[in-house]
A and B are shown apart, each in its own frame.
Chain A
Amino acid sequence: MKVELQNITKIFPSRNKKSNEMVVAVNDFTFTVPDGKLIGLLGPSGCGKSTTLYMISGLQKPTSGKIFFGEDDVTELPPEKRGIGLVFQNYALYPHMTVKQNILFPLQNLKGVDKLSKEQMLDRVDEVSKLVQLEQYLDRKPSEMSGGQQQRVAIARALVKMPRVLLLDEPLSNLDARLRLQTREEIRRIQRETGITTIFVTHDQEEAMSISDMIVVMKLGVIQQVGEPQEVYDNPVNLFVSKFLGTPPINVFNGHIRSGKLYIGEEVIADAKDVSDKEVYVGIRPEGFIVDPNGKLTCNLESREVMGRDVSIVSNHPESANPIVRSIVDSESPIDVDAQTIKYNIKKTKMFVFDKETEERIFLEGDKLPYHLTQYVQEKESVNSKSSEESTQEENS
């Protein structure tokens, strides 16, 4: 089932009655989720990703805009008529019911033509509990299960009525690190096996990148970038997206473009033909550094952290926007630990230049531009001319 969001906007009235300041949680959100895909809505807390999910579920109504499931306009439909399964952040399993009763509950609500016989219901429960591998726990109460098992019960309860769309709100945030890895694979497997269009919300970029077919990066209620995880990582359209994706995070330097050359400090890093002189940010992924005694960028060496396969070098640079510059290089790189400085060459594909004022990407000659990204950039540019002033204001506040 394809899910289409058209210009969805959600405005919450102000909590404080005296001020009339309204909160725009989601702003003009337009996006189509292809059928049968796993989509991650990604962003820092307060970016409107959960609100978007709840609007798709029907628990919240958009202030304006339309939502389609396939060809059906569901904007005005209540949640129970949309055919969705929703997994809550803290699962919301009924504590007084056993696992079996919890999973049966949605089926027992069905009325009229959808009504199932007892055997049919039990068959469904069997089927779905096999899918989430909970067969032996059916008679337990939620309180007698681990977080990961509860999570699977919640997914089973959402899946048992065969929803058209499965929605997961921060599905992994209540699990410990090991379970998180395991459960995210589990979610991926269940989604593959059922083929249900699945949308999940997360603030953890690693989580989103590792299992999603596509990610939607949001900030302050506005979509920043949409695409396959690798593509978004390799080609961020603005400073926010580049900073939000990747661990360790991207290194950001203050730079400038003077007569067709990109400088960090006094060092020329790259050519920047056809770009007018301006102040810029230069983002370099940790894996984008190559140690080279004749390199272009000189940093003050602080320490070296050996991680086996790779070596992580901690250094600093007067023009760095982050307190340290962290690079991850091949363990065979020639590093003189006693030296005061270290010189790097930069991999072009791992370096992104952003306008200092708008924080939008400046594409240099030779930067890869996938076809649909080109389109996206063009769209952005037309919108930017209007909204760039607003967004910089928000940034400053």
Chain B
Amino acid sequence: MVDSKNSWKAWLYLAPALVLLLVFTVWPIVNTLRMAFLEDYSGLMEKGGAVFNFGIGNFLKVIQYQRFLNCLKTTALLCVLTVPVSTVLALLISVALNSIKGLQKVLQTIFFLPYVTNSIAIGMVFAAMFNIVGSFLGSENELIVTAGIINNVIEFFGGSHVNWINVGSTYAANIFVMVVYIVWKALPFKILILLGGLQSINKQYYDAAKVDGTSKSRILTRITVPLLSPMIAYVVITSFINGFKEYTSIVGIFGENMGPADDKGRLNTMVGFIYDALSSNNQGRASAAALILFAIILVVTLINLQVSKKRVHY
């Protein structure tokens, strides 16, 4: 314990961190709360001398916006689709990686590459894979220079090309592309965590299972998954949180339009909505939306924790 005489020293040493936290974390949070509850707050208008009423008008307006509800739907849909798929895939890949010997290090590096690559750059590569270059799509004089790698593959197997992300594409096709992209991007981190967890499982459990003649599938479901459950819970919770904060992936593939050219903003997300509101000087609404997003993430995380309490062993 520091005695009270010398406590100013402790405060002195803490000061740099405290100042930075106060300025860049605590104050923005307080300010967000303030702006959210001032109806129609705008920083520009405040400078002009406008006075705003205190109330929950911002929240009411935000949740009545069709645009906001669309963002919410897209975000939730992407979360619900990508989290289970990426978690299961990551689990299978890490179990497979853990069971091979020779190329483990090389493959581990390959699987980890997406993590250290710029997501906009990856997005552009994915966009190129799905993009149809040409014009007059769907018209009589249809002209296609290249339908993209994915469509080439589909056509190779006798299917007809799909309009994934171009003008006239469907919402379902857009979501499919986003799911593939987000899953691929989310894999490395999850594989890293799960592989680490797998490698820390005592090998004797597997020896014991082997002596008892346990089948491979039973070893996976009855031993590996339960022993890995704390890691799996961690991965699921963090990926739900990341999923609700999704924004850059959409920009990566669709650009700032957040959707195909004929339906801009179709794939906008919660963070995208907040960003748009901020940049159009609607800080009040942006703050309200940010708090709603925070509340949603909080609730989802609490549900996750509750579920994992029952499912996560020891």
Contacts and interface: CB of A to CB of B under 8 A. Distances in A.
Interface of A: 57-59, 78-81, 84-86, 88, 90, 92, 94-97, 105-106, 108-110, 141, 143, 157, 161
A92 B227 contact: no
B218 A59 contact: no
B210 A80 contact: yes
Contacts of A57: 211
A161 B208 CA distance: 13
B118 interface: no
A112 B250 CA distance: 53
B212 A161 contact: yes
Interface of B: 202, 204-205, 207-208, 210-215, 218, 222-223, 226-227, 229, 313-314
Nearest to A142: B314
Contact of A96 (B213, B215, B227): B227
Contact of A92 (B204, B213, B226): B204
Contacts of B313: 95-96
B222 A92 contact: no
A105 B212 contact: yes
Nearest to A154: B208
A78 B227 CA distance: 25
Contacts of A161: 212
A134 to B, nearest CB: 18
B224 to A, nearest CB: 11
B185 to A, nearest CB: 31
Q: Ordered nearest first, which 3 A-B pairs have the shortest CB separation?
A: A80-B213, A96-B313, A92-B204
A78 B215 CA distance: 13
A143 B213 contact: no
Contact of B229 (A85, A86, A96, A109): A96
B101 to A, nearest CB: 14
Contacts of B226: 94, 96-97
Contacts, number: 60
A109 B227 contact: no
A57 B218 CA distance: 21
A92 B208 contact: yes
Given A95-B313, A95-B314, A105-B222, 6 more contacts: A59-B211, A80-B211, A86-B207, A92-B207, A94-B223, A94-B227
A223 B207 CA distance: 26
A57 B208 CA distance: 11
B211 A109 contact: no
A94 B205 contact: yes
B214 A109 contact: yes
- The CB with the most chain B CB atoms within 10 A, among A85, A90, A109, A141, is that of A109
A106 B212 contact: yes
Nearest to A81: B213
Nearest to A143: B314
B210 A59 contact: yes
A99 to B, nearest CB: 14
Nearest to A102: B208
B207 A59 contact: yes
Contacts of B213: 79-81, 106, 109-110
A141 B208 contact: no
Nearest to A158: B211
A109 B215 contact: yes
A88 B215 contact: no
A92 B212 contact: no
B211 A84 contact: yes
Nearest to A78: B210
B212 A80 contact: yes
A97 B314 CA distance: 9
Nearest to A110: B213
Nearest to A101: B222
Contacts of A96: 226-227, 229, 313-314
B314 to A, nearest CB: 5
B207 A109 contact: no
Contacts of A94: 205, 208, 222-223, 226-227
Contacts of B205: 92, 94
A79 B211 contact: yes
Given A88-B208, A90-B204, A109 B314 contact: no
B201 to A, nearest CB: 10
Contacts of A108: 218
A86 B210 CA distance: 10
A96 to B, nearest CB: 3
Contacts of A79: 210-211, 213
B232 to A, nearest CB: 12
Contacts of A92: 202, 204-205, 207-208
Given A96-B227, A96-B313, A109-B213, A86 B208 contact: yes
Contacts of A105: 212, 214, 222
